[in-house]
Structure 1
Amino acid sequence: MENNHVKLTLLDLSNYKHLQNIASEEDLIYYSPSDISTPETLKEYVQTAVDGYYHKTTMPFIVYDKTKQGYAGSTRFGQIDWKNKLLHIGWTWIGREFQGSGLNKHMKFLMLQYAFEVLFFEKVEFRIDERNIRSRKAVEKIGASLEGVLRKDTLMQDGFRRNTCCYGILKEEWPEIKTDVFGRLLN
Structure 2
Amino acid sequence: MIIPTLENERVKLSPLTLDNYFQLTIIAQENDLIYYSPSDISSPEKLRNYVEVALEGVQNQTVMPFIIYDKQQQDYAGSTRFGLINWHHKTLHIGWTWIGHDYQGSGLNKHMKFLMLHYAFETLEFEKIEFRIDDRNQKSKKAVEKLGVTFEGLLRKDTVMNNGFRRSTCCYGILKEEWPFIKSTVFKEF
> TM-score interval w.r.t. the shorter chain?
over 0.9
Q: 1:69 aligns with which of 53, 67, 74?
A: 74
Over 2 Å off, 4+ runs: none
Is residue 53 of structure 2 the alignment partner of residue 48 of structure 1?
yes
Q: What pairs up with 1:75-154 in 2 under 5 angstroms?
A: 75-154=80-159
Pairwise CA RMSD: 0.4
> What's the counterpart of residue 39 of structure 1?
44
CA shift, 1:26, in A, is 1.0
- Distance in structure 2 (CA, Å) of the matches to 1:26 and 1:138: 20
- Distance in structure 2 (CA, Å) of the matches to 1:7 and 1:93: 15
- Distance in structure 1 (CA, Å) of the matches to 2:161 and 2:140: 17
> How many residues in Structure 1 have an aligned counterpart in Structure 2?
185
Is residue 32 of structure 2 the alignment partner of residue 19 of structure 1?
no
Unpaired segments ≥5 residues, structure 2: 1-5
One-letter code aligned to 1:125: E
- Distance in structure 1 (CA, Å) of the matches to 2:91 and 2:148: 17
Is residue 182 of structure 2 the alignment partner of residue 177 of structure 1?
yes
> What's the counterpart of residue 3 of structure 1?
8
Normalising by structure 1, report the TM-score.
Answer: 0.98
Normalising by structure 2, report the TM-score.
Answer: 0.97
- Distance in structure 2 (CA, Å) of the matches to 1:18 and 1:129: 27
Give the % identical residues: 67
- Distance in structure 1 (CA, Å) of the matches to 2:38 and 2:115: 25
